[in-house]
Chain A
């Protein structure tokens, strides 16, 4: 089955703790994205990556970090600097991020809660 997987489904963070959300895809897509969704708000872009070892900040990158060491994987770390991390985190991918008419497909999401 081709698709995007995210783990864990639920994640709990303690004060001052860094946590890492996993995103893996086997669609052979070059471009990958991380979004955050809060109740009553649209999805907001945190980071995106078009190729391995390269990534760009989105609209709300502060308090987050990413890496792209493999084409299939784009993990997101929520650092202690992110003061309001409780949200639904969505990973997406698209073919290569170079076309205007390019669909993004989403993984199942990780819900992060602060203890």
Chain B
């Protein structure tokens, strides 16, 4: 079993819709969770971080964490074509130890 699993997609949503990206992880002691956005050919940029169970909102983005189910998600409201990218889930399993999923490709159509 992979440490961090994401559906590779592509996830296709129309402009203005809610995009829901999911991630599961295997290490129960993980405490920090990050979502990065990566445009084609570019480096990852941080979108959200979440450390506690529940929801964390930042603008159009909401991260949701459920440690009991070992599940973290990212919701993007009012999706825009500029949101089309690959979204990487990263889980911190120890000091300096950040494990990445393979990413979900999101396509937002006008």
Q: Is the CB of B42 within 8 A of A42?
A: no
Q: How far is the CA of A45 from the CA of B92 in the complex (A)?
A: 13
Q: A103 to B4, Cβ gap below 8 A?
A: no
Size category, B interface = 20 to 34
Most buried by A among B44, B45, B51: B44
Interface assignment of A98: CB less than 8 Å from any CB of chain B: yes
Known: A42-B4, A90-B44. A101 touches B102 (CB 8 A): no
Contact among A31, A56, A101, A108 with B43 in the assembled complex (CB-CB below 8 Å): A108
B102/A42 in contact, CB under 8 A: yes
Q: Is the CB of B96 within 8 A of A33?
A: yes
When chains A and B are docked, how far (Å) is the Cα of A56 from the Cα of B95? Answer: 12
Say what secondary structure dominates the interface of chain B: strand
Q: Is B98 an interface residue (CB 8 A)?
A: yes
On whether the beta carbons of B95 and A42 are closer than 8 Å, the reply is no
Cβ–Cβ contact B43 & A107, under 8 A: yes
Q: Closest CB-CB distance, B101 to chain A, in whole Å?
A: 5
Decide yes or no whether B46 CB sits under 8 A from chain A. Answer: yes
Contact B49 A103 (CB under 8 A): yes
Q: Which B residues touch A99, using CB under 8 A?
A: 95
Is B49 a contact partner of A101 (Cβ separation < 8 A)?
yes
Interface positions, chain B 47-82, Cβ under 8 Å from A, are: 49, 51
**Residues on A facing B (Cβ under 8 Å):** 31, 33, 40-45, 48, 50, 56, 90, 97-109
**Cross-chain pairs A/B with CB under 8 angstroms, 13 sampled:** A40-B102, A41-B102, A42-B102, A44-B100, A48-B96, A56-B96, A100-B31, A102-B32, A103-B34, A103-B49, A105-B46, A106-B45, A108-B43
